[in-house]
Amino acid sequence: MAVTMVIGNAPTISLSFLSQGYTMASVIANEFTEATTDLYRSSLIEIGLLLLIVTLLVNAAARLLVWRVTYSTGSRSLLS
């Protein structure tokens, strides 16, 4: 929500860091209460699902990284 307030909420893809943008969470937050048709609502929930999958992948990657570093080097004392 903090991001939603400052990012500008423009539904365009831009390569500039200084232009306005949009985040998946912002789209849902801004448009869900206006979604009048079933298709519109379903699309927004689909964005939610994508967001969920992204989170899952990032979490899994992080866990994998931790396991790699912890067990493969065999020098746990350096990390703890």
Partner 1 sequence: VTAATSLGIPGRNLRRRRTTDRVMRVLLGLTAVVAVIPLLLVLLYVLLQGLPALNLALLTQSPVPAGFPGGGVAPAVVGTLIMVGLGTLIGTPVAVLAGIYIREYAGGRGATVIRFLVDVLAGIPTIAVGLFAYGLVVVPMGSFSALAGAIALAIIIIPIVARITDEMLGLVPGSVREAAYALGIPPWKTIVRVVLPGAATGIITGVLLGVARIAGETAPLIFTALGNQRVTTSLGEPMDALPLRIWVYATGPYDSWHTQAWAASLVLVFLVLAFSILTRLVLRRRVAGRA
Give the binding site for partner 1 (CB under 8 A).
1, 5, 24-25, 28-29, 32-33, 44-45, 48, 51-52, 55-56, 58-60, 63
| CA 8/CA 20 separation, integer angstroms | 5
Q: Give min distance, CB of 8 to partner 1, in A.
A: 12
| Residue 1 DSSP code | -
Q: Give min distance, CB of 51 to partner 1, in A.
A: 5
| CA 70/CA 80 separation, integer angstroms | 9
Of the candidates 52, 53, 46, 8, the one whose C-alpha atom is nearest the C-alpha of residue 26 is 8
Q: Give min distance, CB of 64 to partner 1, in A.
A: 10
Is the CB of 19 or the CB of 52 nearer to partner 1? 52
